[in-house]
Amino acid sequence: MGFYFLSDRGARSSGCQPLDCALPFLTASGAIAGLFIGRELDSQQRALAPRAGTSIDFAFTEARVLAAPSSIDVRDSIIAVVSDSGAQLFSAGAQPKALRRRAGGLSAVRQVAIAPDRGTILLGTGSALWEANLLSGPATRLADGAVDALATSRDAVLSASGRRLRLSTGTGAGARSDSLEMAEQVTAISYDETAGAWWVATDSQLVQVTSEVGTLALTKSRVSLPASARAIATNGDWIAAALGDGGVIAWRRDGFADGAVNAVRVQQEPRFAYDLAFLDGVLFVAGGVDGLFQLSLTPTPRVVGSSRQVRFATTVRAGNGVLWVGDRGRESVVRVTP
């Protein structure tokens, strides 16, 4: 068309006219362009479709945080979220609302846990473990050293710095502390409400640790890990761990009692398992850019489905019948109702 309208009339000796010359060319080029556009749209649809299970749409609401969340914890009616901008507290209602900021002067906060009976929030940074009241007041340094893993029971705090576990129980005059050196670097900690004990993941093992009367002790309950664990979750029947690009691994709780500790694994999806949580016997996994996954462990381990509603899911917690997901893509904490 450009040649036709810009050329001199004498250059059209071939008699090329818009309908008999330009139109066939435009039709052919349009068809080729449409083919490539269609292929690109089709590839985008395939990329968004789950590679295992079905696509799931959950009901959800969200609350924006100051920066991309690095860790969250949920206890009772409180949500604690930490990011590069410090710690924020939210109400764990149908519509989460920002309550207040805590420990605003701390930097490089990467772990958070709530201790309900202590009425405090625990914060792990690259240099120390801190504790602050949920309502007001300054933060107190509990221990020096980078915090690599952190978890709480109702009134106790267990943290890890390298290979060392550090326990803090009670407050005031009744405060006690203890420590235990593990054989390898500690990568994750979780408190098991059912067993009343802690699960500690190292580079190659998952070990149960008790803290009776404020003293840490190893138990005989332990299993080998095929890869380093990023997070641990438990319910009445299962103990599970997120292994990053190694997928998800789980063991039946009764297997530890009778000595038949056989693992089940889900490896095909998500491509990277950041975190996981049990809700009503169902396992949910934060899969980063792949979204939030729902897994079934019985009768065979499999991916039930996934949701891309959460853009970059890196943390997930269960509480009061719903899931709370830290979404780094939206810079928000998301309330998900399965």
The backbone region for 108, taken as left when phi is positive above 0, alpha when psi lies in -120 to 50, beta otherwise, is: left
- pLDDT at site 37: 86
Please give the structure tokens belonging to residue 250: 């789980």
Contact predicate 283/302, CB 8 Å: no
Average pLDDT over residues 253-272: 88
Percent of the chain with pLDDT over 90: 72
Give residues with Cβ within 8 angstroms of 290, minimum separation 6. Answer: 269, 270, 271, 272, 306, 308
Give residues with Cβ within 8 angstroms of 104, minimum separation 6. Answer: 86, 87
Q: Rounded to an integer, what distance in angstroms lies between the CA atom of residue 132 and that of residue 142? A: 10
- pLDDT at site 240: 98
Strand order from edge to edge, sheet including 86-91: 71-75, 78-83, 86-91, 98-102
pLDDT in tens, 144-171: 999 999 999 988 999 999 999 999 998 8
- pLDDT at site 286: 97
Instruction: Assess whether pLDDT exceeds 70 at residue 181.
Output: yes
Contact predicate 251/233, CB 8 Å: no
* CATH number belonging to domain 57-337: 2.130.10.10
Instruction: Assess whether pLDDT exceeds 90 at residue 122.
Output: yes
pLDDT in tens, 220-261: 999 999 999 999 999 999 999 999 999 999 999 998 877 778
- pLDDT at site 252: 95
Instruction: Assess whether pLDDT exceeds 90 at residue 85.
Output: no
Please give the structure tokens belonging to residue 21: 């010359």
What average pLDDT does the chain have? 90
Instruction: Assess whether pLDDT exceeds 90 at residue 27.
Output: no
3-state secondary structure of 314: strand
Instruction: Assess whether pLDDT exceeds 70 at residue 51.
Output: no
- pLDDT at site 5: 60
Side-chain half-sphere exposure of 72, counting CA atoms within 13 A: 36
